[in-house]
Chain A
Amino acid sequence: MESNPQTSELRGHRTLATVVFTDCVGFSAKMSRDEDHTLDLIRRDLKLMQRVCEQYEGRVLKSTGDGLLMYFISAIRAVKCAVEIQDALTNAAIQLSERDVLKHRIGVHLADMFITDTDVMGNGVNIAARLQAEADPGGICISQTVYDVVKTGLQLHIKYLGPRKLKNIDEVVPAYKILLQPELEESDPCESIVQNLQANKNHLRIRKLIYYACKNVWESDTHLLNLLDLKELIQELVKLAPTLPRLQSFLGAAVKTLSKPTEYQAIAQIVITELEPLYPSEAGGLPDSAPTQVTAHRAHPQVSDPELQQRYDQIAESLASLSSLPRIKKLCYYVCRKKWESDPEQLQGVPMAALIAEIHQASPDLEQFRLTLDSFVKTLSKSAEYVLVANTLIQHLQPLYLSPASANPENLQSPKLAAYDRQASSAAAPPYAETGVALEQEQNLLRIKKLMFYLCERRWENNAAALNNLNTESLVRQLHQMAPAAAQLEAALEAVVKSLSKPAEYQAIAHTILRRMASLYPGYQPPKVELDSTNMAVSETADGPAPASHETSRFSLFDARLDIMRNTNPLSAKILLFTALKNEFHFTEQDWLALKLTDLDGLLREALNCCQSYTDMEELLYRAARTLPTPDEYVHTATRLIKSLRFFYFHGKVPVTLPPMVEDTDIPLAEKAGTSGTEESITILEQADMTCQLAEQTILPAVEVLPEADAPAEITESWAIAPPPPHPHPSSESDPTSDGTE
């Protein structure tokens, strides 16, 4: 039994304990829909948890209403208990219908806390609570402390999430995720590469080099280096240098700036050799190109029927017109190859028609296909959104499954509507028009349209004129077709709203949408609206899937300008940017006049817009500098300009070109890119200066199970220079040389 030295008359005592926090996913929403039923479910689940807790010699300290707070003396038992709870819940769920299943998140942390009979207090408890929020539904998240204690004692599949910045917790907490279904989550070539690099005896130097190449900052602190997520860094590196020769030159340039170039050259070679498999080859001999060839082989013998092939092609064509094509293709690729592919180049190499053929051959029955697709989607980190994608896919592939002999070309041409008609049980067309009209009565129509458009097209539209042109009815129809089940629409809305910069306000918008669209889903009870929509301040500032806040992005440009003004001649900077963007500045009267038409701000925004990556900007500016009369001077200006704008590529935020009046600040989802280690002088303090402007602490994002480059959720996290700002200069071992032009 638990040895509780605590007697009831003492108020409480301080002890080292492991606290397990559980929380039910979407509890309030479920409660507002069906209170009694949800209460039954939660009682059932909490009883189960209590039983398991006592089995593992833990003690339930209190119930939070939708979860339990458990206390264990043994961290190993605590983790075992958590795993057992999730396993038991999952097993029980197999035989239950969806409405009878609740998902829970669990967080585990070990720290010194103050325990009384009925409660636990202390920073450690807050950490456990926040960790729980980081876990996946049905998942478990543990802190570094717990990991260190249990790693040897337990056989578990763990995934490192990186140092996490938890709300209201000062220190950064490295967190781990316990993988309960290892096979589906670790099919990644990166993993084996990471393991190889980690096993290498020079792994610390490897980390240093990769980190330096990506972030242009030298990190010598072993502890911090070990905290870095190697997989993320490798992915960043691959993004920065998308071809093997570029990787070689990139690393080569970085190594040249170091104080021990020969040694690091060897390290760079190791890195290049290890990372080779990640690159598609031009000559076509590496394993990555093999799947494309294999597909061709696989598809051809089986598609003996030319008519079938034609249909595959037609479906591929109709899918190509959709804006959600990239996601559809990723999903198809995932289902066929059991491997997640985010690289657009890779995906391009595989024709959509071939994937469709593969899928059709693999699952000859529609139900089976649906189930397969469902099970794949469930393993994704953005399952709610991918459910919608899956539905679209099913719709398009449906004609393949329904009596192939009777399928006629007309149906294929308008698969959406045709598929929908077959799906609809009622003969009457669904009330799209009325729903559209009802939505148009709403006060926040613009925001409603923004959210619906985003769900359908995966693109955020802030332009009021464009939004007004969107037909509400067709948005409703599209959304309904993508999410034929109400629960899917709800889940998708929830997932998207969470990733926005104004989740609270958009939550209410989501509710409004659900309420109005309820008529399209027979038997569906929309959740009660919690917020009064009139209380929401309707501001015109950025409320799209923007990064942390509208503030930061505006500030960042002001700060970048300040930096540029401090370090260069503003007119030279303008001349350089003008030359780079418009290709000509010959110092004529006309040119001077043209230059006076835009302010520096406008030129910067244009440049940031047109250069997707840091290296692109470098190329653009250096090239322009060399065409001007005094190239040396302008190269120097270019260097300073790039340094000041580096901030934007780190944080993945690119302010869109604005008219001089700042009304709507659009932040499109930019690609992330790092820096190149070319002839720049590195001063850590400078970086710290710039990052200090941010309100939030900057941290490395966690890598989700299946990374996606276009996901807003990822972009809301910010990249960082991993060590906190007050950091010493690089150590003597690796002093990068300065560029000498200063």
Chain B
Amino acid sequence: MELNELLLRYEAGETNFQGESLAGMDLSGTDLIGIDLQTCDLSGACFILTYLNRANLSHANLQRARLCGANLSQADLLHANLQDADLHGAVLYGADLRYANLGLANLLDVNLISADLREVKLAGANLQGACLRGANLRYERRVYESADLRGANLQNADLRGANLSGANLSKADLRGANLQEANLQEATLSGAVLIGAWLKGVFLTDADLEGADLTSAELTDGKLQRANFSEVNLTQANLTSANLTDAKLERGILVRTILKLARLNRADLSRADLRWADLAEASLIATYLGRADLRQANLTQANLAQAEISSANLHGAELSGATMPDGSTHDG
């Protein structure tokens, strides 16, 4: 079909263009609200600043298409193929992107507020500065596989309140991202980079953060129970009042980490480096600190009842008021 024909028919009121071949067509700036382009071939087509609100693009082929600034709010993109597509600054508010393939796509500064991204493929995609507030990327057993965000670039993205439970974010770049109160339960973040990220009140229970880099991250009030933090780098991170009960932190680097009032009961901190860490008033009941390095750490008023510290290095650690494993209180 030719461009003119399409536009004429659309003006006339027709919206059903299912299965048409419109590859490479330039529809920039046009008004195509509500158009039905299911299963169409739109590869390489140009939709820059086009209005595609509530359009139906499910199963469409949009590989390498240019959708910069396109308005796809509440559009239907189920199973759409958007590999390598350019969605810079597009509006995908409330869009349905379930099962869509956006591998290596460019989603810089995209608006994905409240979008449905279950089982989406975003591996290697660029989501820098994107806003995913309230987006749904939830893993649902037998219904939706984990959303794939491996190696995605999420620097500076706004993920507040997003539901990423079970999502796969291994080796993703989340530097400076805002994950306040996001739901990352059982998510995989192994090898992810979270330097300076904002994770206040985040839900990371049962998550896998092995080898992740959380330097200077803000995890105050984080819920991190049973999470796997082995070999994680938490240098200078702030975990005040975080709940790390049963967490695995073997070989973790917690140099100068702030763990004031944190709960580390039954956590595994063997071989962890906790030099200069601030554990004032933290709860370390039955914590395993085998060969942990606690030199110069601040354990003032910490509770180490039943903790295993026999092989830990406490040289220079501050223990005034701390409850020792045998129940006695350490004199200052």
Chain A residues with CB under 8 Å of chain B are 532, 534-535, 537-541, 554, 558, 561-562, 565-566, 569-574, 592, 595-596, 599-601, 660-663
> A-B contact count, CB below 8 Å?
97
Q: Are B109 and A570 in contact (CB under 8 A)?
A: yes
8 closest residue pairs by CB, A with B: A571-B89, A571-B69, A599-B129, A662-B176, A570-B89, A565-B111, A600-B109, A662-B196
**Across the interface, do B236 and A539 meet the contact criterion of CB distance under 8 Å?**
yes
Q: Is B175 an interface residue (CB 8 A)?
A: yes
CB pair A537 B175 closer than 8 Å: no
Chain B residues with CB below 8 A from A663, complex form: 196, 216
Chain B residues whose C-beta falls within 8 Å of the C-beta of A573 in the assembled complex: 89
Taking a contact as CB atoms under 8 Å apart, the answer to whether A599 and B236 are in contact is no
Cα(A566)–Cα(B156), bound, Å = 17
CA of A570 to CA of B73 in the docked complex: distance in angstroms?
Answer: 13
Select A537's contact among B68, B90, B278, beta carbons within 8 Å.
Answer: B278
- A-B contacts besides A572-B69, A574-B109, 13 pairs, CB < 8 Å: A535-B318, A537-B258, A537-B278, A540-B216, A541-B216, A554-B198, A558-B158, A566-B93, A570-B90, A571-B49, A660-B128, A661-B175, A661-B176
Task: Enumerate chain A residues within 8 angstroms of B198, measured Cβ to Cβ.
Answer: 554
B58 contacts chain A at the CB level, 8 A cutoff:
no
Q: What are 8 A-B pairs at a CB distance below 8 A? A: A534-B298, A535-B278, A562-B133, A569-B91, A573-B89, A599-B108, A660-B156, A662-B176
On whether A537 and B256 interact (CB within 8 A), knowing A571-B89, A661-B176, the answer reads: yes
B287 interface contact, C-beta 8 A:
no
* Interfacial chain B residues near A538, Cβ < 8 Å: 236, 256
Interface contact B158-A660, CB-CB below 8 Å: no
Provided the pairs A569-B71, A662-B175 are in contact, do residues A599 and B113 lie with their beta carbons within 8 angstroms? Answer: no
Tell me which residues from 294 to 332 in chain B have a Cβ below 8 Å from any Cβ of chain A.
296, 298, 318
Task: For the complex formed, measure the closest distance between the CB of B117 and the CB atoms of chain A, giving whole angstroms.
Answer: 16
Q: Do B109 and A571 touch (CB < 8 A)?
A: yes
CB contact between A566 and one of B113, B175, B176, B296 (< 8 Å): that residue: B113
Cα A110 to Cα B231 in complex, Å, equals 59
A596-B156 contact given A539-B216, A663-B196, CB 8 Å threshold: no
Q: When chains A and B are docked, how far (Å) is the Cα of A570 from the Cα of B93? A: 11
Total count of chain B residues near the partner, CB < 8 A: 39
Main secondary structure of the interface of B (DSSP, over half): loop
Q: Known interface pairs A538-B236, A566-B113, A600-B129. Does A571 touch B68 (Cβ–Cβ under 8 Å)?
A: yes
A663-B215 Cα distance, complex, nearest whole Å: 10
A562 and B156 contact, Cβ closer than 8 Å, known pairs A661-B176, A663-B196: no
Contact B160 A565 (CB under 8 A): no
Given contacts A539-B216, A562-B158, A601-B129, contact A569 B298 (CB under 8 A): no
Which residues of B are found within 8 Å of A565, using beta-carbon distances? 91, 111, 113, 131
Interface check B276, CB cutoff 8 A: yes
Beta-carbon contact of A661 and B195 below 8 Å: yes
Measured in the bound complex, the distance between the Cα atoms of B276 and A554 in whole Å is 27
Q: Name the CB-closest residue of A to B126.
A: A596
Q: How far is the CB of B188 from chain A (nearest CB, A)?
A: 23
Query: Which residues in A have their C-beta under 8 angstroms from that of B133?
Result: 562
Cα–Cα distance between A532 and B106 once the two chains are bound (Å): 49
B155 at the interface (CB under 8 A from A): yes
In the complex, A170 Cα to B135 Cα: how many Å? 36
| Chain B, residue nearest A662 (CB) | B176
Nearest CB of B to A384, in Å:
31
Of A539, A570, A596, which is in contact with the most chain B CB atoms at under 10 Å from its CB? A570
Closest approach, in angstroms, between the C-beta of A358 and any C-beta of chain B? 53
Are the C-beta atoms of B155 and A569 separated by less than 8 Å?
Answer: no
A596 touches B88 (CB 8 A): yes
Q: Considering only CB atoms, which chain A residue lies closest to B110 in the complex?
A: A570
B178 at the interface (CB under 8 A from A): yes
B238 within 8 A of A: yes
Closest to A595 in B: B88
Measured between beta carbons, the chain A residues less than 8 angstroms from B155 are 599, 660-661
Q: What is the CA–CA distance of A565 and B94 in the complex, to the nearest angstrom?
A: 13
| Most A Cβ at <10 Å: residue of B49, B89, B91, B258 | B89
B69 touches A569 (CB 8 A): yes
Residues in chain A near residue B256, CB distance under 8 A: 537-538
CA distance A541 to B198 in the complex (A): 12
> Distance in Å from the Cβ of B239 to the closest Cβ of chain A?
11
B residues 124-143 near A (Cβ < 8 Å) are 128-129, 131, 133
Report yes or no: A558 in contact with B128, Cβ–Cβ below 8 A. no
Instruction: Tell me which of A570, A596, A600 contacts B91 (CB under 8 A).
Output: A570
Cβ of A456 to closest chain B Cβ, rounded Å = 28
A626, B157: Cα distance in complex, Å: 31
Instruction: Please indicate the chain B residues that have their CB under 8 angstroms from the CB of A562 in the complex.
Output: 113, 131, 133, 158
Q: Which of B59-87 contact A (CB under 8 A)?
A: 68-69, 71
B74 to chain A, nearest CB (A): 14
8 Å CB contacts to A: which residues of B193-237?
Answer: 195-196, 198, 216, 236
- Cα A539 to Cα B89 in complex, Å, equals 34
Closest to B29 in A: A630
